[in-house]
Amino acid sequence: MTEQEIQIRNKQELKQNEPTRAGRAYLPDVDIYEGPDGLRLWADMPGVDEKSITVDLADGVLTIEGQVDLKQYEDLSPVYTEYNVGNYVRRFTLSGDVDTDQIKARMTNGVLELELPKAERAKPRKIAVSTN
């Protein structure tokens, strides 16, 4: 294991002023990998139901939001807590290399997975060489 893998990180609270959003919002931890056909993004959103996820694309900005049902925490008095409860919001600016019409999203066990396929023009290709 590298030192990076075993470091503890606190949940990052969204610091931007968003008065229309009730409660606290956090940046979900995200992993992004690139393959030959596109990008894959995984966002950890514990406590978020798949019906409470929204994924929007507007003006080249991909926004993912997850709403936590806070009702389940209303009558609880914390004795000890390491986990802050709140909604999740994250935004990414997409390059023109992503085929935005083919983006797919799925939620499994609190992890949102996005498939961001590359546009055909962005994929590697062989170029024929001719002789004169």
State the DSSP string of 28-68.
PPEEEEEETTEEEEEEE-TTEEEEEEEEEEETTEEEEEEEE
Query: 9-23, 57-71, 99-113: which range is least confident on average?
Result: 9-23
Terminal alpha carbon distance of the chain: 55
**18 part of a folded domain:** no
Range of the domain at 81: 30-119
Number of domains in the chain: 1
For range 97-109, the mean pLDDT:
93
User: What is the per-residue pLDDT across 12-57, written as a single tens digit (0 to 9) for each?
Assistant: 666 665 555 566 788 899 999 998 899 999 999 988 988 999 999 9
Residue 41 lies inside a defined structural domain of this protein: yes
pLDDT on residue 1: 43
Confidence of residue 95 (pLDDT cuts 50, 70, 90): confident
The predicted model gives 58-87 an average pLDDT of 85
Confidence (pLDDT) at 88? 92
Domain membership flag for residue 93:
yes
* Residue 108 lies inside a defined structural domain of this protein: yes
64 in any annotated domain: yes
Q: Which phi-psi region, left, alpha or beta, contains residue 52 (left: φ > 0; alpha: ψ -120 to 50)?
A: alpha
User: Which tops the pLDDT comparison, 66 or 14?
Assistant: 66
Asked if residue 82 has pLDDT above 70, the reply is: yes
pLDDT given for residue 80 in this prediction: 82
Please report, for the domain that includes residue 62, its CATH number: 2.60.40.790
- In degrees rounded to 5, what are phi and psi of residue 36? -65, -25
Residue 73 lies in a domain: yes
CA distances from 66 to 2, 59, 86 (A): 31, 21, 9
**Would residue 92 count as lying in a domain?**
yes
Burial pattern 78-91, b for ≥16 Cβ within 10 A else e, equals eeeeeeebbbbbbe
Cα distance between residue 35 and residue 5, in whole Å? 22
